[in-house]
Structure 1
Amino acid sequence: MLASLQPIAPEGDDRIEHKTAVLNGNTYHYLYGVPKGGKFTNTVFLIHGWPDCSLGWRYQIPLLLEMGFRVVAPDLMGFGGTDAPKVPPNPINLYGIKRASDDIAELAKVVGVERIILGGHDWGGFVVWRCAQWHPELVSHVFSVCTPYTPPHKDYISLEDLVKGILPQFAYQIHLASGEVEKSVNDERSIRQFLKGMYGGRGPNGETSFDPESGVIADNLPKIGESRLLNGKVLDYYVKEYSRHGIHSTLNWYRTRKANWEEDLALLDKKTLSIPTLFVQATYDSVLKPEMSASMEAFLPNLTRGEVPATHWALTQKPDEVNTIIKNWLEDQAFGARRSSL
């Protein structure tokens, strides 16, 4: 990454604008940036995960702008400046993958683009794979950091059965969906402690606030110290954004497994994605482990793989390495100058 490419600041950064748009009846907040001079030939959409927001791409947006891309990074439903409709009375599908895909397609119309390059991380990774299937006319290329591609399944497997079987490290999702987390993460102070812990902060004796096989460890939240990955003004921004709606709406994403499966049934004949794809594995991800991506080539004939020595927070923990992989892949796809020095 070029030394001059500083991460996007949460406020007062002239490289991006904070915008809003009504998409299929709900208001979304998104970051919007164009290269210096205003000229661009392609548009990249960046989709975040949990517990994150559009600013989670703060190290990648400058690179993409420098390469000549326009960048659009929305807050997903229930996050940050985007609406957080209550469930009930609203259906949980509002927090599902198909709805997110449809809203991305609507946002593309708002910014006036017919084809996009689509990048995702964590939940955003799940979204971008499916968005390319729901809207093949829109998505020309897909890249995902940490989140492997999984095809639609004919048979429903509950989260509980998945945890008992091949993915015990997904047990935290049962806790996140349970309604228990909201009892301990319910004000600005506890949100701050929660975010510090999720991004690697520890207590004085090494206490952690999250375990993949149990979830959020409420008793440890008050003990958590500073995080190297999320601190200062960026942490303040995240706390403010998560305090808008509280944590509950963001956890609705973990209550959509059956709804997502039901909607996926329409994609059973679209399991193969033939467009160019990139998957960036974080080798130390304790949830989205490397072995989960083993069979992706069977469904992604145009797959490129990259790897970074990072935990789940690769975007901010190893930004130079992630950016190099994304940059080289985009150049290989004939976007921008080939192999210019980083």
Structure 2
Amino acid sequence: MSLVNDDPRVEHRISKLNGCTYHYLHALPAGGKFVCTVFLIHGWPDISMGWRCQIPVLVDMGCRVVAMDMMGYGGSDAPPVPPNSISLYGLKRAADDIAALAKELGAPKIVLGGHDWGGFVVWRAAQWHPDLVSHVFSVCTPYTPPQETFFSTEDLVKGPLPQFAYQLHLASGEVEKVVHDEHSIRQFLKGMYGAKGPDGEAIFLPERGVLGENLDKIGEGGLLGGEVLDYYVKQYLKHGIHPTLNWYRTRHQNFLDDQALLDKKTITQPVLFIQATRDNVLKPEMSKNMEKFIPNLTRGEVETGHWALTQKPADVNRILSAWFEAQGLVGSKGTGKSSL
């Protein structure tokens, strides 16, 4: 599917939230009436347009849809760190900015969905703002409760999650040295979304990170090409890749913020979790204990890799639609039952 830029229901908007400027996609059903408001939160190295296959379907169901460029990405601000605090890229700040945008848009309740880093954001936003977030869905990203003890990324890599070694590379400052101009950004994005070199060379391995030596080998193919790729490159040229990598430098800050949530480990809202069965980072076994903390959990799965939103959009959208209907958020033919 191409960009949603040519969908008359979708507009680009800018808002100032807690002192920082955010760009977001805002979509309304024809006629402007909607039955619920859905916020969509992307991950790395995605942008709001990463939800391009879901936005039209949700709007068709009668939802108002808001897809944000998160801090450091695309048309949103990218405050430098230092002098600014790394907390600007933390989960607590993201949750508070979501709440600020919901207030600005006059939405007392929102359905909150995320993918990749966006999945981590929506879990915490549901805990920080339980009166705002009525329902939660996450694609690929399992729920991890707040912890009493700090575990560094190094601890995780040496222990249960060796596939998280890429996070050490992304946080190191090395990636910016090789992904820094239009050509390298284009090659990087193509490779991250599945394009390969002539001998199968990859741009990314979970156990290593970004393979800069393969940048110039990456050819065409994968999930990004044509106008979609051009749009992504244009967005990344605004700030470069560095600020997006600040999200991988927030682990201790997020731990500190989480200490206020230690008595809120249970997610009480209705939750949908969609597992990508071939995700080689957020592996299926990582979600096995979610029922312990989420009493109202619905599971779905898609036979694909990490980029489920665009690899298997029909399957993702089918699961989303069925859950929205089962929750009474929309009617069986996209006519809503209640206004949120």
Which residue among 144, 153, 164 is the counterpart of 2:147?
153
Match of 1:242 in 2: 236
**% same residue:** 67
- Identify the residue that residue 177 of structure 2 maps to in structure 1: 183
CA contact (8 A) 2:2 2:228 kept: no
Q: CA offset at residue 78 of structure 1?
A: 0.1
Q: Aligned partner of 2:119: which letter?
A: G
Sort the Cα spacing of 1:320 and 1:98 in 2 relative to 1 into closer, same or farther, 3 A: same
CA distance in 1, matches of 2:2, 2:34: 19
CA distance in 1, matches of 2:228, 2:195: 15
> Where does residue 74 of structure 1 map in the other structure?
68
- Aligned letter for 1:313? W
What is aligned with 2:338? none
- Write the distance in 2 (CA, Å) between the matches of 1:188 and 1:11: 22
| Residue aligning to 1:263 | 257
- CA offset at residue 339 of structure 1? 7.3
Partner Cα distance (2:220, 2:123) in 1: 34
Which residue of structure 1 lines up, in the alignment, with residue 311 of structure 2?
317
Q: Whole-Å Cα distance in 1 between the matches of residues 333 and 154 of structure 2?
A: 46
Q: Deviations over 1:208-234 (max 9, x none)?
A: 010000000000010001133111100
Partner Cα distance (2:6, 2:296) in 1: 39
SS in structure 2 at match of 1:100 = helix
Q: Distance in 1 between matches of 2:310 and 2:217?
A: 24
User: 1:1-342 counterparts in 2 under 5 A?
Assistant: 7=1, 9=3, 11-338=5-332
CA distance in 2, matches of 1:236, 1:10: 14
Tell me if the contact between 1:8 and 1:15 (Cα under 8 Å) persists in the aligned partners: no
Higher relative contact order (CA 8 A, sep 6+): 2
1: CA distance, partners of 2:207 / 2:118: 22
Unaligned runs of 5+ in 2: 335-340
- 1:10 is displaced (CA, Å) by 5.2
Q: Is the 8 A contact 1:328 1:339 kept in 2?
A: no
Letter in 1 for 2:140: C
Are 1:32 and 1:71, in contact at CA under 8 Å, matched by a contact in 2?
yes
Q: Match for 1:328: what amino acid? A: A
SS of residue in 2 equivalent to 1:46: strand
Q: Is the 8 A contact 2:186 2:233 kept in 1?
A: yes
Q: How far has the Cα of 1:8 moved from its partner?
A: 5.9
One-letter code aligned to 1:106: A
1:63-115 deviation per Cα after TM superposition (whole angstroms, max 9, x unaligned): 10000000001100000000000000000000000000000000001111100
Shift, 1:41, TM fit: 1.9
Q: Is the 8 A contact 2:164 2:206 kept in 1?
A: yes
Q: Any unmatched runs of 5+ in structure 1?
A: 1-6
- Structure 1: distance between partners of 2:100 and 2:44: 22
* CA RMSD in angstroms, aligned pairs only: 1.0
Contact 1:10–1:233 under 8 Å retained in 2: no
- Distance in 2 between the 1:10 and 1:86 partners? 30
Task: Assess if the C-alpha contact under 8 Å between 2:35 and 2:330 holds in 1.
Answer: no
Count of aligned pairs: 334
**1:335, CA displacement in angstroms?**
2.0
